[in-house]
Amino acid sequence: MDALSKNKIKWIRSLRLKKNRDAEGLFVVEGTKMVQEILATQLSLVECLVTTDESTDSEAVTYLTDIATMKSISGLSTPSSLLAVVRKPEFTDSKSSWTLALDGVQDPGNMGTIIRTADWFGITEIVCSQNTVDCFNPKVIQSTMGSIFRVHVKYEKLEDYFDADDRPVFGALLEGENMHSVEAPVRGILLMGNEGNGISESLVNSITHPIHIPGKGGAESLNVSVATGILLSKFCR
């Protein structure tokens, strides 16, 4: 097991930036549980490991460092003893019956929870507008709890995606039809909007079925990841 060099430290830190993750096709995974899951199921994607534990035993290239250095390269407030640099997974372009579309979701925690929730309901494809947060952002990865390896997240112009697809588009809008009154088809696209502004005006015309989640209390709105989970439970039974 080699010691982690200054060049490797600089390289790992550089992956905090999206442009570097895109250029290298790599991202960082932290947390003992997530890293161990990747080692067990996605070993071929692991570029290298960094550990503070001399007893770490892995087939992957492994570097040893101290706790202070791990803190300096970690994106977590409380770093774990294990970090992995991982290649971005490749997916075949196979559409499931339902696709989740995200328009401008910005919060990494929301994004990660949405990916994890989609995985729970069997969604294998999420298509995002170009201004949606990067799915390989370290905080997003942490929130996905490994689902990033099972859900294909891609970025493109949503108008073009909808135009090229013949499935109905269900959009979450305040003035939409009560979700409980809507009959769920076998296939479709669920469109969720930005945390503060909702779905962009330019996409409203692409929605074939505006829907909303009725509430009983006094809360002004629902968190987008919570709303996504409620609607997926409706459509992906």
Is 91 within 8 Å of 152 (Cβ atoms)? yes
Distances (CA, A) of 72 to 108, 117, 184: 21, 31, 49
The domain that contains 7 carries what CATH number?
3.30.1330.30
Is 234 within 8 Å of 185 (Cβ atoms)? no
Collapsed DSSP state (helix, strand, coil) of residue 217:
coil
Q: How far apart, in whole angstroms, are the C-alpha atoms of residue 183 and residue 164?
A: 24
Enter the pTM of the model: 0.92
Tens of each residue's pLDDT in the chain, 237 residues: 899 999 999 999 999 999 999 999 999 999 888 999 999 999 999 999 999 998 888 999 999 999 999 999 998 888 889 999 999 998 877 667 999 999 999 999 999 999 999 999 999 999 999 999 999 999 999 999 999 999 999 999 999 999 999 999 999 998 999 999 999 999 999 999 999 999 999 999 999 999 999 998 888 889 999 999 999 999 998
**pLDDT for 203-219, tens place per residue?**
999 999 999 999 988 88
Domain housing 204: 98-235
Q: Is residue 93 part of a domain?
A: no
Q: Is residue 231 part of a domain?
A: yes
User: Among the three residues 65, 87, 109, which one is the final residue of a domain in this structure?
Assistant: 87
Q: Which pLDDT value is given to residue 143?
A: 94
Q: Is residue 92 part of a domain?
A: no
The domain that contains 110 carries what CATH number?
3.40.1280.10
**pLDDT for 86-125, tens place per residue?**
999 988 776 679 999 999 999 999 999 999 999 999 999 9
Is 49 within 8 Å of 35 (Cβ atoms)? yes
Is 30 within 8 Å of 139 (Cβ atoms)? no
Q: Are residues 83 and 145 in the same domain?
A: no
Q: How far apart, in whole angstroms, are the C-alpha atoms of residue 56 and residue 73?
A: 19
What sign for the dihedral angle of Cα 73, 77, 79, 84? Answer: negative
